[in-house]
Amino acid sequence: MNKLVKILCCIAAVAVIFILRDMCCNNFFANISYDNNIDVIELFSLIASSIIAIWIGFTITNKLTEQNSAKQFLFNDIIKIEEQIDQLEQLYKEDNVNTTVVFKLITLIDSKLTVLKSSVISFGIKDVDFENLYQTYLDIFMISTNLDSEVGVISDSINPEVVKFRKHLRDIVAKINRYK
Amino acid sequence: MKHIKISKEFSQNLGGRFISLGDFSGEKFYNEILKPKFEEAKNEGVDLAIDLDGASPYGSSFLDESFGRLKREYGEESVKSIIKFETKNYPHVVELIEKRIW
**A81-118, pLDDT tens digit by residue?**
999 999 998 888 887 788 888 889 999 999 999 999 99
pLDDT at A128: 86
Exposure of A142 in the CB half-sphere (CA atoms within 13 A): 19
Q: Among A26-40, A131-145, A162-176, B41-55, which is the least confidently predicted range?
A: A26-40
| pLDDT score at A166 | 94
In this structure, are residues B62 and B25 in contact, taking their beta carbons and an 8 Å threshold? Answer: yes
pTM: 0.75
Q: Which residues of B touch A154 (CB under 8 A)?
A: none
DSSP β-bridge partners for residue B48 = B2, B83
State whether residue A24 sits within 8 Å of chain B by CB: no
Is pLDDT at A165 greater than 90 in this prediction? yes
Rounded CA separation B84/B67 (Å):
12
Share of chain A above pLDDT 70, in %: 94
- Sign of the Cα torsion B76, A141, A125, A176 reads negative
Contact B96 A148 (CB under 8 A): no
Please state whether the peptide bond connecting residue B57 to the residue before it is cis, i.e. omega within 30 degrees of 0.
yes
The answer, for A110 touching chain B at a CB cutoff of 8 Å, is yes
CB < 8 Å to A114, chain B: 91
Cβ <8 Å between B91 and A135:
no
Q: Measured between CB atoms, which of B60, B90, B95 is closest to A145?
A: B60
Could you tell me which residue, B66 or A147, shows the higher pLDDT?
Answer: B66
| b/e map B11-41, b = 16+ CB within 10 Å | beebbbbebeeeebbbbbbbeebbbebbeeb
**Residue A112's closest chain B neighbor by CA?**
B92
- Separation between Cα atoms, residue B19 and residue B34, nearest integer Å: 15
Task: Tell me how close the Cα of A118 comes to any Cα of chain B, in angstroms.
Answer: 15
**pLDDT tens figures, B66-95:** 999 999 999 999 999 999 999 998 999 999
pLDDT above 60: residue A20:
yes
Burial B63-95 (b: 16+ CB within 10 A, else e): bbbbbbbbbeebeeeebeebbebeeeebebbeb
Cβ distance B60 to A106 less than 8 Å, yes or no, reads no
Contact criterion met (CB below 8 Å) for B70 and B39: no
Task: Tell whether A143 is within 8 A of chain B (Cβ).
Answer: yes
Closest residue on chain B to A113 (Cα) = B92
Say if the Cβ atoms of A138 and B21 lie within 8 Å: no
Residue A22 clears pLDDT 90, i.e. is over it: no
Out of A100, A138, A148, closest to residue B100 by CB: A138
Distance CA B64, CA B27 (A): 9
Q: Are residues A147 and B99, on separate chains, in Cβ contact within 8 Å? A: no
Q: Is the pLDDT of residue A2 over 70?
A: no
In this predicted structure, what is the pLDDT of residue B79? 95
pLDDT in tens, B43-73: 999 999 999 999 988 999 999 999 999 999 9
What is the structure's pLDDT at A65? 85
The answer to whether the beta carbons of residues A142 and B96 sit under 8 Å apart is yes
Between A35-44, A171-180, B14-23, B85-94, the lowest mean confidence (pLDDT) is in A35-44
Of A110, A135, A147, the CB nearest to B61: A147
| Sheet containing B83-86: order of strands | B2-5, B48-51, B83-86
> What is the least distance, in Å, from the CA of A142 to any CA of chain B?
5
ipTM exceeding the 0.90 mark:
no
Amino acid in position A48: A
B57 touches chain A (CB under 8 A): yes
Residue A29 has pLDDT above 70, yes or no: no
CA-based nearest residue to A111, from B92, B14, B11: B92
Whether the predicted pLDDT of A1 surpasses 60: no
